[in-house]
């Protein structure tokens, strides 16, 4: 069996074993190699065997944004680490030496054809950032080695016979050779890294498998056969030389500042497309996809809808998402709740025109889902055009900032599902609003998504917790306000005073949401549109808080207290459900995501553009 076959077989066994509980998983190894001292040709008889690899997750997991194991590692019985290809790209971009070195070795490894394509451009992966990492790591190793040497030399000696001393030396040498914490190991690694640093500064490439004089020199350092003082001096001089040369390289810009991320990005997209094609071929059955007609939006019923549709299209164009498709647009906010009074002002107290509330869902081109440049999760007029990759500028993974959004908002489908599963009330309302037919436009695909609500039931414990939690936060903020109680005079230096209009707005949202939480608990129902007859009492209270011209601070205090008491009552009901743990809420979230997984995969695959 050749090295190529051996390492391919070995790595595939690892992947299958680690993912054996995942049904129909088709993760593929892209690269696998012997690592550590064996790969450098610096091993000794007792050296451990380390392995390094890169693999591609099953394409279905990528399409739903669920990379289950970005890192697969183990230390027994074999010491190995495999990075999911996206995580590998991230670390490679940052210049980690352990990720750079595999790009420059062809021994003791399996290299897939798609990996060979990346190797063709490996010179473009060397950058100032990489060299900076090599220098920083070398400096760190030098410091660690110096501490260990000082500790050794400062240790207390005891009287021993010559034979005992010789035996102790042998044991110490053996320990030094193999220990990750010995100064000799840190010194030889430092020397090796600095030699590669110098090569890169001279526009060359790292040499992984060492031979000849370089290998002999480093092995002597490893075995403790070189004079320690001389070795330390030589390493320090080499470091100083590299550091000085690096300053000149930066000043003259002889080497690119960062690696060419477009090379990585284009390669990653090809990896994902190949993974898709391989899974389609292995199943023997082509995925049933949506047609262009299923993505079409027809019959826009009102001028307002047309304006919003055109606005969303212009936002997609601005963000270079011309191939994205809008799946749904609907009115949201007070109009969809039937809580906009017929005499309500169209401007606020400052004379500024109030924004209409609309929500839309779009699906991004699948290539952008594969990419290091992901599509915006949410877009509105204020969203800045992002030109950075998620490696350069990590994505904000919190959903909290999207709890209080208003205005015209467009959500990417994957993020919309994430918000739905976590119980975001504005997203859930899209499935339970039965009275806004004239203010909705949707594709056949969206109609299919809506049908899933019957089986999935989006009125989850997460939605209850979300509505209760947001309401609680709003009323507690009101009570903490310096101007909450009208009977308490304000100090002249009081800051952060909330205007009465803002307090009313907060109480309005808090009251409506705690009503929804209680309604789900008591009636297993979720009312979006408050009817003038069926929901008269609640509707009148909310309109009074929102619009009454004679609303006073005293009334605010009383109604806020009432709302807080209701929040406490709902909390008691939640506790009686059974002790809902964070694990239960996570399970509920996963259940909703799972119910939408199949249709999301189908939509993503329908958007893939592959030129064969």
- Compute the average pLDDT of residues 462-481: 93
Q: What is the pLDDT of residue 156?
A: 42
* CB within 8 Å of 280: residues ≥ 6 apart: 286, 287
Q: What is the pLDDT of residue 115?
A: 96
72 vs 81, 85, 100, 390, CA distance in Å?
Answer: 6, 12, 19, 22
Greatest Cα-to-Cα distance within the chain, rounded to the nearest angstrom: 103
- Compute the average pLDDT of residues 416-437: 90
Q: Which of 112, 120, 118 is nearest to 28 (CA)?
A: 112
Q: What is the pLDDT of residue 493?
A: 52
Sign of torsion, CA 187 192 195 199?
Answer: negative
Least confident of 18-27, 85-94, 266-275: 18-27
- Tell me the C-alpha distance between 399 and 422, whole Å: 9
Question: Token match 């893939």: residue?
Answer: 608
- Tell me the C-alpha distance between 33 and 4, whole Å: 9
Whether residue 165 has pLDDT greater than 70:
no
Q: What is the pLDDT of residue 490?
A: 42
Q: What is the pLDDT of residue 197?
A: 97
Does 328 or 156 have the greater pLDDT score?
Answer: 328
- Tell me the C-alpha distance between 79 and 209, whole Å: 20
Contact 381, 408 (CB under 8 A): yes
| Two structure tokens written together for 57 | 């997750």
Contact 431, 595 (CB under 8 A): no
Q: What is the pLDDT of residue 152?
A: 60
Q: What is the pLDDT of residue 271?
A: 97
pLDDT in tens, 207-224: 999 999 999 999 999 998
- Compute the average pLDDT of residues 69-74: 93
Contact 239, 139 (CB under 8 A): yes
pLDDT in tens, 554-590: 888 999 999 999 999 999 999 887 666 667 777 878 8
Q: Predicted confidence band at 62 (pLDDT cuts at 50, 70, 90)?
A: very high
Starting from the edge strand earliest in sequence, which strands make up the sheet with 28-35, in order? 71-74, 79-84, 50-56, 28-35, 109-111
Q: What is the pLDDT of residue 581?
A: 67
Beta strands in 114-251 (DSSP E): none
- Tell me the C-alpha distance between 205 and 197, whole Å: 9
Whether residue 178 has pLDDT greater than 70:
no
- Burial class of residue 454 (count of CB atoms within 10 Å of its CB; 0-12, 13-18, 19+): exposed
Q: Which alpha helices (H) appear in 253-391, and where do they start and end?
A: 261-283, 303-318, 333-336, 366-370
Domain ranges for the chain, please list them: 3-125+259-272, 128-252, 291-453+608-612, 459-577
Q: Predicted confidence band at 403 (pLDDT cuts at 50, 70, 90)?
A: low
* SS3 call for 82: strand
* SS3 call for 461: helix
* SS3 call for 295: helix
Q: Predicted confidence band at 421 (pLDDT cuts at 50, 70, 90)?
A: very high
What is the H or E stretch that residue 325 is in? strand 325-331
Beta strands in 547-598 (DSSP E): none
CB atoms within 10 A of CB 302: 12
- Tell me the C-alpha distance between 169 and 171, whole Å: 5
pLDDT in tens, 87-141: 999 999 888 888 999 999 989 999 999 999 999 988 888 999 999 999 999 998 8
Query: Alpha-carbon Rg of the chain, whole angstroms?
Result: 32
CA 302 and chain centroid, separation: 38
Does 213 or 456 have the greater pLDDT score?
Answer: 213
Q: What is the DSSP letter of 376?
A: P
Whether residue 302 has pLDDT greater than 70:
yes
| CATH 1.25.40 corresponds to the domain 3-125+259-272 | no
């Amino acid at each position: 069996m050749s090295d190529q076959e051996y390492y391919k077989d070995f790595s595939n066994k690892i992947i299958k074993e680690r993912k054996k509980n995942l049904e129909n998983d088709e993760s593929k190894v892209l690269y696998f190699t012997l690592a550590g001292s064996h790969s450098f040709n610096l091993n000794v008889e007792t050296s451990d065997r380390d392995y390094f690899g890169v693999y591609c997750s099953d394409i279905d997991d990528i399409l739903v944004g669920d990379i289950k194991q970005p890192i697969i590692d183990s230390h027994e019985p074999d010491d190995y680490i495999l990075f999911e290809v996206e995580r590998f790209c991230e670390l490679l971009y940052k210049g980690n030496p352990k990720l750079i070195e595999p790009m420059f070795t062809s021994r003791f490894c399996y290299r897939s054809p798609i990996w060979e394509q990346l190797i063709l451009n490996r010179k473009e992966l060397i950058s100032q950032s990489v060299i900076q990492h090599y220098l920083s790591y070398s400096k760190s190793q030098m410091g660690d080695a110096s501490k260990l040497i000082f500790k050794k030399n400062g240790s207390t000696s005891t009287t021993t016979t010559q034979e005992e001393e010789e035996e102790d030396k042998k044991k110490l040498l053996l320990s030094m050779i193999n220990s990750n914490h010995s100064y000799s190991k840190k010194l030889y690694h430092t020397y090796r890294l600095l030699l590669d640093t110098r090569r890169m500064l001279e526009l060359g490439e790292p040499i992984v498998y060492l031979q000849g004089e370089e290998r002999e020199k480093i092995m002597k350092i490893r075995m403790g056969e070189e004079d320690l003082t001389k070795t330390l001096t030589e390493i320090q001089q080499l470091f100083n030389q590299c550091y000085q040369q690096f300053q000149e390289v930066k000043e003259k810009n002889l080497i690119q500042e960062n690696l060419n991320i477009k090379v990585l990005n284009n390669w990653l997209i090809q990896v994902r497309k190949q993974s898709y094609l391989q899974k389609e071929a292995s199943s023997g059955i082509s995925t049933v996809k949506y047609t262009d007609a299923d993505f079409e939006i027809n019959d826009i019923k009102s001028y307002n809808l047309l304006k919003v549709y055109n606005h969303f299209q212009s936002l997609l164009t601005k963000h270079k998402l011309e191939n994205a498709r809008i799946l749904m647009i609907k009115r949201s906010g007070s109009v969809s709740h039937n809580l906009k009074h017929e005499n309500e002002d169209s401007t606020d107290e400052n004379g500024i025109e109030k924004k209409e509330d609309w929500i839309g869902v779009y699906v991004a081109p699948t290539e952008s889902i594969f990419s290091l440049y992901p599509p915006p999760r949410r877009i509105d007029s204020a969203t800045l055009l992002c030109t950075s990759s998620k490696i350069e500028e990590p994505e904000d993974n919190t959903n909290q900032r999207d709890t209080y959004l208003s205005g015209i908002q467009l959500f990417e489908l994957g993020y919309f599902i994430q918000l739905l599963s976590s119980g975001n009330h504005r997203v859930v309302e899209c499935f339970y609003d039965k009275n806004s037919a004239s203010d909705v436009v949707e594709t056949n695909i969206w109609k299919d998504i809506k049908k899933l609500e019957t089986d999935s039931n989006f009125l989850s414990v997460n939605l209850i917790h979300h509505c209760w939690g947001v309401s609680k936060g709003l009323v507690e903020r009101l009570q903490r306000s310096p101007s909450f109680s009208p009977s308490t005079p304000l100090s002249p230096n009081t800051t952060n005073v909330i205007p009465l209009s803002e307090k009313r707005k907060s109480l309005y949202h808090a009251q409506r949401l705690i009503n929804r939480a209680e309604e789900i608990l008591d009636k297993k129902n979720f009312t979006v549109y408050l009817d003038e007859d069926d929901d008269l009492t609640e509707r009148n209270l909310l309109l009074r808080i929102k619009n009454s011209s004679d609303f006073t601070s005293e009334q605010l205090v009383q109604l806020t207290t009432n709302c807080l008491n209701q929040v406490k009552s709902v909390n008691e009901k939640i506790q009686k459900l059974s002790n809902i743990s964070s694990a239960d809420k996570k399970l509920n979230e996963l259940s909703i995501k799972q119910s939408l997984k199949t249709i999301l995969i189908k939509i993503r695959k329908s958007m893939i553009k592959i030129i064969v």
